[in-house]
Amino acid sequence: MPDTHTAHTDTGTLIRMLDAAETMPDAVALRARSYQLLWLPPGATVVDVGCGTGRAVAELAQQGARAIGLDLDPDMLAAARSRFPGIDVRAADAADLPLGDGQAHGYRADKVYHILPEPPAALAEARRVLAPGGRIVLLGQDWDTMVIDSDQPDLTRRIVHARADTVPHPRIARAYRNLLLDAGFHEVEVEVHTAIFTEATTVPLIAGHAEAARRTGAISDEQAAAWVDEQTRRAAAGRLMVAIPMFLAAATR
């Protein structure tokens, strides 16, 4: 989904962007698929790392798992607790999880690895807390391959790439498989599910991309305004077309 936590995105803005995306049918189906790939026996311990506002933690708990949400941001944890009272969420860094060796049967991280300073360190930590036979599922978008129909394709490419470059690891999703193999996981499988956005509610999200590109100096003020204008007109005419391939990688410890 078109969101991230970068130096330019405060928690309130990020929560609004996540809220806009997470109830869309594609997002609901993708979460459901991620739970399936965890192969959780009833009552199994599963950690959702970078849990944000806690929806996946609540959904996994509802399915009978002992779900623990972990996140660095206290404001996210506060939002999670107020939205889903009773869920187990705790402050923790992905590189230093508050679990003993082999304590978890499942590990999930959704739209998180692109912002971690050292993804391999987080994967090593995932491997430590998972029991042998435990499952890991990573989800995220490849920021370089966001598809946006436009009459200004060169400008669109510049916007997408400039926005991608504001993320620490914009192409990590295409590397999930190799990172998991390098970290010693096996039975690694990758699926790509493309989310399609045609509704006007998507305009603020892609306008944010143009704004990020403008801020980096990759495009001018006038180009940003003209591009957002075109996308707004498309949305008003029912002609918006945005597609985001979401990578989902699963593996066994």
Ligand X SMILES: C[S@@+](CC[C@H](N)C(=O)[O-])C[C@H]1O[C@@H](n2cnc3c(N)ncnc32)[C@H](O)[C@@H]1O
Binding site for ligand X (CB under 6 A): 3-5, 18, 22, 49-52, 71-73, 76, 93-94, 110-112, 115-116
Joined together, the tokens standing for residue 159 give 């916007």
Rounded to a whole number of angstroms, the minimum distance from the CB of residue 229 to ligand X is: 28
Q: Tell me which residue has its CB nearest to ligand X.
A: 52
**Amino acid identity of 208?**
G
Q: Which is nearer to ligand X, 123 or 155 (CB)?
A: 123
Q: Which is nearer to ligand X, 95 or 241 (CB)?
A: 95
Rounded to a whole number of angstroms, the minimum distance from the CB of residue 148 to ligand X is: 20
Question: Is residue 149 classed as helix, strand or coil in its secondary structure?
Answer: coil
Q: Which is nearer to ligand X, 116 or 219 (CB)?
A: 116
Rounded to a whole number of angstroms, the minimum distance from the CB of residue 157 to ligand X is: 24
Question: Alpha-carbon torsion 2, 15, 201, 27, what sign?
Answer: positive
Q: Which is nearer to ligand X, 10 or 229 (CB)?
A: 10
Question: Alpha-carbon torsion 95, 96, 102, 104, what sign?
Answer: negative
Contact between residue 136 and residue 113 where contact means Cβ atoms under 8 Å apart = no
**Amino acid identity of 180?**
L
DSSP state of 183: T
Rounded to a whole number of angstroms, the minimum distance from the CB of residue 90 to ligand X is: 10
User: DSSP H helical segments within 117-220, as ranges?
Assistant: 119-129, 153-164, 176-182, 203-216
Q: Centre a 10 Å sphere on the Cβ of residue 186 and count the other Cβ atoms it contains.
A: 9
Rounded to a whole number of angstroms, the minimum distance from the CB of residue 154 to ligand X is: 29
